[in-house]
Amino acid sequence: MAKKQTPMMEQYQKVKDQYPDAFLFYRLGDFYELFNEDAVKGAQLLELTLTTRNHSAKNPIPMCGVPHRAVESYVDVLIDKGYKVAICEQMEDPKKAKGMVKRAVTRLITPGTQMDLNGDQARQNNYLAAISQADNQFNLAYTDLSTGELKTTSLGSVEGVINELINLQSKEVVGEEALPARLKAALDSRHILLSQQTEILKRSEISYLTQDLTAAGQRHVVGLLVSYLLTTQKRSLAHMQRAIAYQPSSFMKIDHYSKTNLELMTNLRSGKRQGTLSWLLDETKTAMGSRLLKRWLDRPLIDPTAIKERQDKVAELLDHYFERSNLQEELIKVYDLERLAGRVAYGSVNGRDLIQLKTSLEQVPKIKYVLEALDSPVFTDLTSRLDPLTDIADLIDRAIVEEPPIAVTDGGVIKDGYNDQLDQYRDAMNNGKQWIADLQEQERQVTGINNLKIGYNHVFGYFIEVTKVNLDKIPRDRYERKQTLVNAERFSTPELKEKEALILGAQEKSVALEYDLFVKIREQVKEQIQRLQKLAQALSELDVLQSFAVVSEDYHFVRPIMNSGHQLQIKDGRHPVVEKFMGHQEYVPNDVQMGDDTDILLITGPNMSGKSTYMRQLALTAVMAQMGCFVPASRAELPIFDQIFTRIGAADDLISGESTFMVEMMEANNALSHATDRSLILFDEIGRGTATYDGMALAQAIIEYVHQHVRAKTLFSTHYHELTSLEETLPRLKNVHVGATEKNGELVFLHKVSAGPADKSYGIHVAKLAGMPAPLLKRADQILQKLENKEAELAKKGAADPTNQPTPQQPAAQPNDRVQEALAAAAPLVEQNGQMELFNPQPTAKKLDKKEERVLNQLKELNLMGMTPMEVMNQLYDWQQKLK
Ligand code: ADP
């Protein structure tokens, strides 16, 4: 095996050994090459052709490559797939190198540290997180390297950590070796890359960034995160902001399931942003505003003063249409200052970025002016934070030309008059042009060749070009041939050489000087990064607030009154997203009345009548209110919720059976064990995923438990009409229903929520519409009555008997008893009834044929409670056809 490697492969291997978990892009001339396993895997992922190096050898080395100019797009693909990429550059000019060209890794790009974010990604944060464990507590830190935001918190459980990571949508987590297996598995299943960092460096950056933190565990985890960055990122971290500790409990908590269910950020069906609350509310004009809006949506406030402050500003902006339009016009011209600050620190800004920075800064005085014209105390603080950085704007204005080239190394970036030395070089260059023009004229005179011209190219420099027909006229003694073309020859003269040296010298020096000047300007901007970040923060806030004002006006939102008690009164509430798709006219607004005396609304009504929309609209209203936005209603008074829990099944996940039921129970349990009397719980059709009585018993027990022990504001939708009798025994439960009616033989959903339980004979009503025989319907009615009477009795007994109440220790003990009872109550119904022809397998009146028997058996097996009206109709139609 001791095969001798070429010196290059030896060098490659040395570098690769330092980055075993990254794809190594190894620069070779105009290409980056991948070798060995990197090449095999990379060729597949990047759709490149796999070749070999040394094909003649016994063990040829697999290899593939990408052109250096296109490298970014290939890197992006790998990073998106969750891999790391190390870029290894040539550190000297290969032409001048003696022996092997020196190479070194200049960049390590990882999913959590990617900075060049374009398109949609510009409107999103990219968070790198770090986790460490101390005693029974987890410490978490996160940063967005492109903006320098740095935060830390402590969490009590693995679930808490996972939830926070999902909220942050982190693609990469830095951890010490000892992390619980459960956490590692959770990261793995979500394709979150875990990067190891063992050592905390002793560096001044870390002391600086952690200086405001008091908790040792939080200082540790921030140290871990920054150490990882210092080790892997070959770049300045000057733009990173001092770490801020936050308490998850100072925001409204919405667990990940509920965020998904409520479609705050992503659409359940398409996985996209369209159709979400974030999409609806986002009328921001800047990418940083859009990112801040998502952060606010992710963490609605619970501090009433902070909510009021945002609302006050939205109200002002809402009332002042023209000022608001002016602000929008200025904001559109504001560049992504947050990310620009990051790139300034990294040293990757060019002339165009600086011009954009200047343009952005020029908007600030105009924005201040508009806000001052509003003459409202609510904007005093925000206005004072709008620092126009006049020094920086002036500097750029004096130094950088209005339309600089992309490259900062080729000159043409610095304005005339900014630097004396540069002006002198430029003079020489300009004069040079004149010299050349004069020389050309002079040579034409001397030779008599009228089309003689002096030109320039990169390879040969300046030359005199003479067409073939005129060659006999040139002075052979002075003209020295440089190049032969098809129709012409090119020459040089001693005089031309002299001018050339002067011109090219000036040009070279001026380009070098320009670059030096540019770097100095960049450094001056870098010193002001913190001011720039503060300005960015203030502008982002203003942008989100104006966005709230815009949507509040467009969609007729009102300012909610936030109370410190438990009053919840909404008049004409709407689901803002459904309303937008459907149109303001079409949507049926609904009230929610839950005073101090009401904790639970039990919502009944047919499928598709609007139960779940009604529940969701309340949750969205609460979230919007606590973000500081106005809400879709004609009047709204709300308590401040500490948490929202939901169990809202999508229609189709009910089909998948047991596993869904497990999820359902887990989510319900999560709500029951963590909700407080300040929380909001939405339970949609709980218990539906299991057998009817089983599910109904569970549903009832859950309602009782909430009523007795949790006392959170709860909306509970159900198709078990039997549960509506709970209103008689549970004083803080109210029945409401969503109406439907029959019109021209068709079922019409009214989408209107009213007090009281839904019409119980609804399912039978559908059967009637389908044309079922009258005796059958009558019989169904009888059975229903019996079932209901039994259930009502049972419910009364259960609720009245205090020993039957679930205790916090055994919330699930009761349902089982209840199932037994319910089943016992239901069973005699079928057996005892003598005239029950339809349900009797041995008919007394008429012998059934095979077909009829089959239908009857199917009917017996049918789980009516688990079917939608449409399914019932289809089934009935099917039978009718069979029996004809
Ligand atoms: P359920 O939960 O009762 O099965 P949904 O809440 O899913 O019903 O509503 C079914 C459909 O009815 C929704 O997709 C929506 O289009 C429509 N809908 C619901 N509520 C309203 C309303 N208030 N006004 C108009 N249409 C509504």
**pLDDT above 80 for 841:** no
What pLDDT score was predicted for residue 695?
Answer: 78
Question: In this structure, are strands 461-467 and 453-457 parallel, antiparallel, or unpaired?
Answer: antiparallel
Q: Are residues 127 and 102 in the same domain?
A: no
Q: Has residue 245 got a pLDDT over 60?
A: yes
Asked if 616 and 751 sit in the same domain, the reply is yes
| Nearest CA residue ID for atom 19, ligand 1 | 610
| 115 occurs within a structural domain | no
C-alpha 405/C-alpha 518 separation (Å) is 13
CB atoms within 10 A of CB 352: 15
Window from 175-184, 382-391, 692-701, 829-838 with minimum mean pLDDT: 829-838
- Does 801 have pLDDT greater than 50? no
Q: Is residue 374 part of a domain?
A: yes
pLDDT tens across 17-72, in order? 999 999 999 999 899 999 999 999 999 999 888 888 876 677 789 999 999 888 98
Whether residue 570 is found in the same domain as residue 598: yes
Helix (H) or strand (E) holding 104: strand 103-109
Residue ending a domain, choose from 231, 250, 269: 250
Calpha distance 524→517 (Å, rounded): 11
| CA 357 – ligand 1 centroid, Å | 48
Which ligand 1 atom sits nearest the alpha carbon of residue 616? Answer: 6
Confidence of residue 810 (pLDDT cuts 50, 70, 90): very low
Measured distance CA(130)–CA(243) in Å, rounded? 13
Strand pairing report for 600-604 and 713-717: parallel
Q: What is the pLDDT of residue 805?
A: 43
**722 vs 193, which has greater pLDDT?**
193
| More reliable by pLDDT, 544 or 237 | 544
User: Cα–Cα distances in Å, from 543 out to 220, 279, 363, 566?
Assistant: 35, 15, 13, 32
Which residues fall in the annotated binding site for ATP? Answer: 605-612
Q: Rounded to 5 degrees, what are φ and ψ at 750? A: -90, -20
Question: Which protein residues are within 6 Å of ligand 1, measured from CB?
Answer: 578, 582, 587-588, 590, 605, 607-613, 751
Q: Is residue 260 part of a domain?
A: no
- Indicate whether 631 and 702 sit together in one domain: yes
d(CA 605, CA 611): 7
Specify burial of residue 249 (Cβ count, 10 A radius: 0-12, 13-18, 19+): exposed
Give the distance (Å) from ligand 1 centre to CA of residue 649: 14
Contact partners, residue 790, CB within 8 Å, separation at least 6:
822, 825, 826, 829
The CA distance from 561 to 569, in Å, is 10
d(CA 724, CA 61): 74
Q: Which residue, by CA, sits nearest to atom 18 of ligand 1?
A: 610
610 Cα to the center of ligand 1, angstroms: 3
pLDDT at 611 over 70: yes
Average pLDDT over residues 671-685: 91
Domain end (from 707, 733, 759)? 759
pLDDT of 838 above 70: no
Tell me how far CA of residue 832 lies from CA of 825, 827, 828, in angstroms: 12, 9, 5
> In the prediction, which pLDDT does 875 show?
80
Q: For atom 5 of ligand 1, which residue has the closest CA?
A: 610
Final residue in a domain of this structure, among 109, 143, 177: 109
User: Which atom of ligand 1 lies nearest, measured to the CA of 685?
Assistant: 2
Q: Which atom of ligand 1 is nearest to the CA of 613?
A: 6
Most informative mutation of 587, 684, 718, 751 for ligand 1 (most atoms within 8 A of CB)? 751
Measured CA to CA, the distance from residue 497 to residue 504 in angstroms comes to: 10
Q: b vs e for 134-162, b when ≥16 Cβ sit within 10 Å of the residue's Cβ?
A: eeeebbbbbbbbbbbbbbbbbbeebbbbb
Amino acid letter for position 387: D
Nearest CA to ligand 1 atom 12: 610
* pLDDT computed for residue 827 by the predictor: 36
Q: What is the pLDDT of residue 714?
A: 96
Look at residues 394, 382, 367, 402 and name the one whose alpha carbon lies nearest to residue 285: 367
Strand order in the sheet with 746-755: 253-254, 643-647, 680-684, 713-717, 600-604, 733-743, 746-755
Distance 262 CA to ligand 1 centre (A): 14
C-alpha 591 – ligand 1 centre gap (Å): 15
Q: Please give the residue range of the domain that contains residue 630.
A: 561-759
In a domain, 401, yes or no: no
Distances (CA, A) of 731 to 13, 569, 783: 75, 19, 29
Question: Which CATH number covers residue 102?
Answer: 3.40.1170.10
Within 8 A by CB and 6+ apart from 255, the residues are: 163, 643, 645, 670
Is the pTM here over 0.85, yes or no?
Answer: no
pLDDT tens for 17-31 read 999 999 999 999 899
Confidence of residue 603 (pLDDT cuts 50, 70, 90): very high
Q: What's the CA gap between 720 and 723, in Å, rounded?
A: 6
User: Residue 658: which pLDDT band, with cuts at 50, 70 and 90?
Assistant: very low
Cα 302 from Cα 640, distance rounded (Å): 6
Phi-psi sector, 680: left (phi>0), alpha (psi -120 to 50), beta: beta
Q: Which CA distances in Å does 555 have to 318, 320, 612, 775?
A: 12, 17, 21, 51
Instruction: Classify 129 as helix, strand or coil.
Output: strand
Confidence of residue 851 (pLDDT cuts 50, 70, 90): confident
Percent above pLDDT 90 for the chain: 52
- Euclidean distance between CA atoms 838 and 842, whole angstroms: 10
Q: Do 880 and 735 share a domain, yes or no?
A: no
Residue 415 lies in a domain: no
**Would the pLDDT of 808 be above 50?**
no
SS3 118: coil
Inter-residue contact 791 to 722 (CB < 8 Å) = yes
CA 725 / ligand 1 centre spacing (Å):
25
Is residue 571 a contact partner of residue 591, using CB atoms and an 8 Å limit?
A: yes
For residue 450, pLDDT beyond 60: yes
Which residue type sits at 742? Answer: E
Instruction: With respect to residue 410, please indicate whether it lies within any of the assigned structural domains.
Output: no
Task: Supply the pLDDT for residue 770.
Answer: 62
Atom of ligand 1 nearest to the CA of 605: 3
241 and 161 together in one domain = yes
Q: Give, using CA atoms, the residue closest to atom 15 of ligand 1.
A: 610
**Which of 608, 611, 652 to mutate for ligand 1's pocket (most ligand atoms within 8 Å of CB)?**
608
- pLDDT of amino acid 110: 92
* Distances from the Cα of 264 to the Cα of 258, 300, 587, angstroms: 9, 12, 20
Count of domains for the chain: 7
Ligand 1 centroid to residue 698 C-alpha, Å: 26
The rounded distance, in Å, linking the Cα atoms of 567 and 597 is 9
Whether pLDDT at 443 is above 50:
yes
Higher per-residue confidence, 501 vs 761: 501
Q: How far is the CA of 609 from the centre of ligand 1 (A)?
A: 5
Of 808 and 793, the one with more pLDDT: 793
**Mean pLDDT, residues 293-320 taken together:** 96
CATH number of 636's domain: 3.40.50.300
> Are 548 and 508 in the same domain?
no
* Per-residue model confidence as pLDDT tens digits over 409-424: 888 999 999 999 999 8
Is the same domain home to 614 and 753? yes
Q: Residues at the annotated binding site? A: 605-612
Q: Which is higher by pLDDT, 832 or 662?
A: 662
Instruction: Evaluate whether 264 touches 293 at the Cβ level (below 8 Å).
Output: no
Tokens of residue 732, six digits = 């803080």
The span from the CA of 212 to the CA of 242, in Å, is 7
Edge-to-edge strands of the sheet including 172-175?
Answer: 193-196, 172-175, 127-134, 137-144, 149-155, 244-245
Instruction: Please name every residue paired with 381 in a beta bridge, in sequence order, or none if there are none.
Output: none
- Mean residue pLDDT across the chain: 85
* One domain, residues 703 and 567: yes
Measured from the CA of 589, which atom of ligand 1 is nearest? 23
- Indicate the pairing of strand 253-254 with strand 51-53: unpaired
Residue nearest to atom 16 of ligand 1 (CA): 578
Q: Which two tokens stand for residue 50?
A: 């796999």
Nearby residues of 420 by Cβ (< 8 Å), 6 or more positions away = none
Instruction: Judge contact between 639 and 565, C-beta under 8 A.
Output: yes
Lowest mean pLDDT among 431-440, 606-615, 779-788: 779-788
Q: Average pLDDT, stretch 580-588? A: 90
Q: Residue 608 C-alpha to ligand 1 middle, in angstroms?
A: 6
550 and 566 both lie in a single domain = no
Helical spans, DSSP H, in 70-146? 71-80
Ligand 1: residue whose CA is nearest its atom 4: 608
Q: Please tell me the distance between residue 550's alpha carbon and the centre of ligand 1 in angstroms.
A: 26
* Domain match, 229 and 241 both: yes
Residue whose CA is at the smallest distance from ligand 1 atom 25:
587
Question: Which among 50-64, 544-558, 642-656 has the top mean pLDDT?
Answer: 544-558
459 and 570 share a domain?
Answer: no
Q: Is residue 268 part of a domain?
A: no
Q: Is residue 844's pLDDT more than 90?
A: no
Flag whether 438 is in a domain. yes
Mutate to test the pocket of ligand 1, among 584, 613, 749 (most ligand atoms within 8 A of CB): 613
Higher pLDDT, 346 or 599: 599
The span from the CA of 600 to the CA of 732, in Å, is 6
Quick one: pLDDT at residue 337?
A: 94
